[in-house]
Amino acid sequence: GCTADAADGAGEAVVEAGPVRELSVQGMEYLVRAGYLEHDWHRRHHVHLVFSNTDLFQLETFTPKDFVWQGKKEANGDEDAEEALGDTSASLGTQGAKVYVHKVTSLNLDFNRLTDVEFNAGTTRPGSITGNTFGSLRTLKMRQNRLVDPVLLMPRLRELYLAGNRLRRVPKLTGVPSLEVLNLASNVITELDDDDAFAPVVHLRNLDLTYNHIQLGPESLLNTLETLFNSCRTLERLKLHNNPFCGYFCEYQVLVVKMLESLSSLDDLHFAGHDGAALREEMCKEADAFFGRSWRAAVHPVDGSQLGPVKRIGDLGEFNSVVVPFLKAELGVEVRTLEEAQGYFLYDRAAALRSVVKERRESASRKGARLGQVGVAMEKADKHSDGPQLKSLLGEMEEALLDPEQARSAMQIIFQAADTISQAARTKEFFKTIKESKARADAVASFVEQICFIHEKHPELSVVIIRSLGRFCSVSEYGMDLLCFSALATIAKASTAARDEVMEVLTLVVLPPISDMNIQDAQCANAVIGLSSFDCPELADRLGVIFPMLCNFYLKWPAANDDDASGRSAHIKRSLCSLLRTAVQNPDNARALLQDHEQLLMALSQDILKRDELFNPSLCSQYVSAIGIVKETAKIMPAETLAYLKQESFHAELDHAVWEIFVLQRKESEELGIPICKKLGSAIDILVYMMEVGGESLAHSLLVEQGSKESEYHRGGLFETMLKVASEEVPDPVMLAASLRGLTYVLNSDKFRSRFVQSIITRMKLLDESTILPLVDRKGFKDLHQKCQEHTDFVELAEAAQAGIQAQTSFGVVTNPIAHQALATIVRFLNTFSEKGSSATDDRDGTQVFFEEVAQALNAQGCNTKLFRLLEVPSQDLKAEVLGSLKTCDIGSMEKDQVEIMLELLDATRVNRDEAMLITVIGSMKELIMASVDFRSKFGTQVINKTLEILGANEARKTYGVDDEHYWKTKLSEKAVGLLARSSEGDNLFIRKHFRTAFHTERFHLIMKNEEVGHHADAP
């Protein structure tokens, strides 16, 4: 439903409350404000609907909450539809408002969580995909959803994409007789049990069954091909590779090519052109040699009657009087025995091959390949055991790593083993053949590591791998559960589909058993530790079942003591704290914390205020997590949380503690340690957050009242702490990010700006040699980046030093999220002076002159040039902040080097490696080229030429079949076309004339040709 302009804005906005799970008026209106939709979306007669952006949507139902999809039968024409819907969006505020979709021809619901219920008949579920509501639908994409056996009733549908679901068989196709394209790749289809499954789709041109679990023998494949030959005479493209039968029945390709003469491509083989024709001829000869040469020729027996296509020798009749003369006349061969004659008849040859294929599968099983014979393999691997054993499974993994064709069957074996050993009685048997404890631990580590390798090489096996690891999470011996949790946490980061599957396994397999356990139980404790390693907000929604248990465990768990030599007790406490921080990101859990577990909130706030907690480096992560719990709860229920904290004087005590330790530590040492900085940074962060959302009275208490106290260690309060941090030559990045956020709040506050602005300018030397600006320069950033790397626990100091050296030469290698956050807050802070200095609002407090002076001083120090360089950093948030500075930038007075920096970023070589950055820059260029005549006259030609180069390079990419790349390719092309379209509108005669050159005409033709080829029917 997006117009060109709306699509052009996609990718820059962020949904505030996470992906939408149910469509509603409120959610759609947010998309309007974010630039994804036009404001009159509800009055348009949509043609294309796209809900596949995983940052925006994770729909669990396609039925809207407070409006309905309206089909053509209920509408009385376009004018009536407009009148029925009303002139304003206010009409959508009532239940049952209508959005007309009777003209929708394509619907994209990829990467959601939809189930078979969406295919219920329209009469029982108003607005469902089937029925008359979407009566004009021609293309439906529902890849990576949760379909199992959908009922398809869409007579006019032509293209259907169901890859990456949970289909166990080919859906009934009688309800989609017009279908031309069918993609069922990456499902769990095991066999084509219905030989006539494809008979109803007589117009089928493209069929994809790759990456399934299909087991086919020669006869069953032959029956399927016969159906396709008789029914689907227009079939052009067929994909069958990466199914188990392809390994042991490698002749399937020559049989398919011989049977289906209409094919233009099979798997990765193409039969177009001279070379393709030669390949087809060669494969047909191989088929004749292997399957026999009697195919479909009409035969005239001795009695003169005409038989149809000859499939079996039995179709001819008596051997001597019919078969022998037929073979001699038709094929020029003489036979003496029935067995010899059967070699020339297709179905007889296929039946004979049954034993050959069976022997191949058994031979592969003896060699360890298994190739689908899971039952045979399991019997062999464990013939001397009561259950599967780790040693035999390691053998499976090694074979699978050596031969990729064996990966699928190996994982099926491991999945069955995981089901078995999750039973306590089988666990000891699992480790029995490995004697020593250390050897067992090493074997477990190797086993999990190999599973992860297979996942990297075979992402199509993601589902079975994730489910296997989920079941192994119940085995606490030799650290298997912790390793499996770690592997699942890593896999969850690989893709949206993998993350969703991991969350499903945690919900159904991992969490239920531990909900009734005690934390003293090793399995339960390890599960808490393992779950805490997930950096995945979606986990919050799944932890509700164990949230009360986690709260009680935290309250009852003893503090760390000297008896805990191994550190396990402290580790469990840290993990509990981390897991609770994740859990309260869910609104229901946050409410439960305030309403049912107030004791926990009290305990957390008391722990945060303890001076010993701040001083003790070993409690760093636990302290930061405790603050995170309080902050996350406050985000969801700010009024209730802040009221409780104010009642306990939390903000005043924490402010006092931060200032005290900040001064005390500096008396003892010039450098604060990383653990102390982490704690102080998180403490400042929550104080700033309380100041931002707690109203002016709370902010006044922190900034003014606390700062007026004259105790020995408390002469500054929060403002003095933040200013002291921001004024340091090389500040700690975590403390800097929190402090600059607070100072930015002060500068934007009408109540506090006049009181503090001069102190900020003077202490930070913003009119002279600024202490903050060098941090965004390549040379000055080196030391700051070094500290960012030291904050990242998993980076060794040697690697951090090397990364710091690289960062000095290129911002493009800076991937540390702490560095991204620090740079973004610096840019936001500096932009405040430019915005306030150029603001036309009433200068009631008399501070605008200060902002103007600072803005001029920063420009004199090359601020814009330094900020533009930051566009190389791979961070969308940072790019948005930098490009936001262009709003107050004087385009006409931009230095040549500043323009060149932006033009450098419009580089076609960045296509396929930095699309997000190109999308951001092109979007800003579009605004600049339309807003400023001076910019347009000076740089318009270069911008257009570079945008055309980017569009051309992007359209030349062959991304179909690779969903993620195809998504970014589409977004980048939309952005580039948006700039070119806007540039050719209105009175931009110079630019429009520029488009009419022969060079650009030729380029446009090439782009359109690539667009047509790249989006043919075979493309997702």
Q: Is the pLDDT of residue 86 over 70?
A: no
Q: Given pLDDT bands bounded at 50, 70 and 90, which one contains residue 423?
A: low
Q: What is the pLDDT of residue 320?
A: 64
Residues 3, 39: contact at Cβ < 8 Å? no
Q: Given pLDDT bands bounded at 50, 70 and 90, which one contains residue 504?
A: confident
What does the alpha-carbon distance between residue 552 and residue 519 come to, in Å, rounded to a whole number? Answer: 10
More confident residue, 602 or 373: 602
Three-class secondary structure of residue 764 per DSSP: coil
- Give mean pLDDT, residues 889-918: 73
Q: Is the pLDDT of residue 117 over 70?
A: yes
Range among 122-131, 580-589, 621-630 rated most confident? 580-589
- Give mean pLDDT, residues 471-491: 87
Averaged pLDDT of the chain:
75
- Give mean pLDDT, residues 608-612: 72
**Of 869, 889, 768, whose CA–CA distance to 826 is shortest?**
869
**The two structure tokens encoding residue 482:** 């912790």
Residues 124, 151: contact at Cβ < 8 Å? no
- Give mean pLDDT, residues 846-858: 87
**Of 230, 277, 227, 232, whose CA–CA distance to 257 is shortest?**
277
Range among 6-20, 461-475, 604-618, 806-820 rated most confident? 461-475
**The two structure tokens encoding residue 460:** 């199509």
Residues 746, 703: contact at Cβ < 8 Å? yes
Q: Is the pLDDT of residue 599 over 80?
A: yes
Range among 35-39, 335-339, 375-379 rated most confident? 35-39
Q: Is the pLDDT of residue 363 over 80?
A: no
- Give mean pLDDT, residues 163-180: 89
Q: What is the pLDDT of residue 739?
A: 93
Residues 822, 737: contact at Cβ < 8 Å? yes
What share of the chain has pLDDT > 90, as a percent? 6
**Of 52, 171, 45, 34, whose CA–CA distance to 113 is shortest?**
52
Three-class secondary structure of residue 243 per DSSP: coil
- Give mean pLDDT, residues 781-809: 60
What does the alpha-carbon distance between residue 177 and residue 158 come to, in Å, rounded to a whole number? Answer: 9
Q: Is the pLDDT of residue 102 over 70?
A: yes
- Give mean pLDDT, residues 18-45: 80
More confident residue, 625 or 183: 183
Give the 3-state secondary structure percentages of the chain, helix then strand then coil, rounded to 5: 60, 5, 35
- Give mean pLDDT, residues 756-760: 91
Q: Is the pLDDT of residue 473 over 80?
A: yes
- Give mean pLDDT, residues 98-119: 87
What does the alpha-carbon distance between residue 826 and residue 741 come to, in Å, rounded to a whole number? Answer: 9
Range among 299-308, 401-410, 505-514 rated most confident? 505-514
What does the alpha-carbon distance between residue 8 and residue 31 come to, in Å, rounded to a whole number? Answer: 13
Q: What is the pLDDT of residue 627?
A: 86
Say which range, 97-106, 258-267, 539-548, 991-1000, has the weakest mean pLDDT.
991-1000
- Give mean pLDDT, residues 652-679: 73
**Of 386, 384, 412, 388, whose CA–CA distance to 400 is shortest?**
412
A 10 A CB-CB count for 595 gives 10
Which contacts (CB < 8 Å, 24+ apart) does range 177-181 have?
A: 177/201, 177/202, 177/203, 178/203, 179/203, 179/204, 180/204, 180/205, 180/206, 180/234, 180/1017, 181/205, 181/206, 181/1017, 181/1018
What does the alpha-carbon distance between residue 507 and residue 147 come to, in Å, rounded to a whole number? Answer: 19
DSSP β-ladder status, 97-100 and 139-141: unpaired
Residues 675, 620: contact at Cβ < 8 Å? yes
More confident residue, 688 or 243: 688
- Give mean pLDDT, residues 545-559: 81
Bridge partners (DSSP) of residue 206 are 181, 237
Q: Is the pLDDT of residue 290 over 70?
A: no
Q: Is the pLDDT of residue 779 over 80?
A: no
Say which range, 296-310, 358-372, 623-637, has the weakest mean pLDDT.
296-310
More confident residue, 985 or 821: 821
Note the pLDDT tens digit of each residue in 688-747.
998 888 888 888 888 887 655 544 444 557 888 899 889 888 889 999 999 999 999 999
Note the pLDDT tens digit of each residue in 871-889.
778 887 887 788 777 666 6
* DSSP string over 176-195: -TT--EEE--SS-------T
- Give mean pLDDT, residues 263-282: 82
Q: Is the pTM of this model over 0.75?
A: no
Range among 200-209, 467-476, 591-600, 902-911 rated most confident? 200-209
Instruction: Based on DSSP, count helices (H) and strands (E) in the chain, helices before strands.
Output: 45, 11
Residues 271, 322: contact at Cβ < 8 Å? no
Note the pLDDT tens digit of each residue in 304-360.
444 445 555 555 556 666 667 766 666 566 766 666 665 556 666 666 666 666 665
What does the alpha-carbon distance between residue 417 and residue 470 come to, in Å, rounded to a whole number? Answer: 12
- Give mean pLDDT, residues 59-77: 74
Q: What is the pLDDT of residue 887?
A: 63
Q: What is the pLDDT of residue 300?
A: 40
Q: What is the pLDDT of residue 562?
A: 45
Q: Is the pLDDT of residue 64 over 60?
A: yes
Q: What is the distance in angstroms between the CA of the first residue and the CA of the last residue of the chain?
A: 19
Say which range, 167-171, 285-289, 338-342, 794-798, has the weakest mean pLDDT.
794-798
Q: What is the pLDDT of residue 139?
A: 93
Q: What is the pLDDT of residue 921?
A: 80
Q: What is the pLDDT of residue 142?
A: 93
- Give mean pLDDT, residues 757-776: 88
More confident residue, 311 or 23: 23
- Give mean pLDDT, residues 658-665: 70
Give 503's contacts (C-beta < 8 A, 6+ positions apart): 492, 536, 538, 539, 541, 542
Note the pLDDT tens digit of each residue in 394-418.
777 777 776 666 777 777 777 777 7
Q: Which secondary structure element, helix H or strand E, spans residue 98, and what is its range?
A: strand 97-100
Say which range, 10-24, 57-71, 813-827, has the weakest mean pLDDT.
10-24
Please give the torsion angle defined by the CA atoms of residues 528, 533, 539 and 542, in that order, rounded to the nearest 10 degrees.
-20
Q: What is the pLDDT of residue 340?
A: 62
Q: What is the pLDDT of residue 826?
A: 93
Say which range, 343-357, 468-482, 562-576, 816-830, has the weakest mean pLDDT.
343-357
A 10 A CB-CB count for 493 gives 12
Q: What is the pLDDT of residue 893?
A: 57
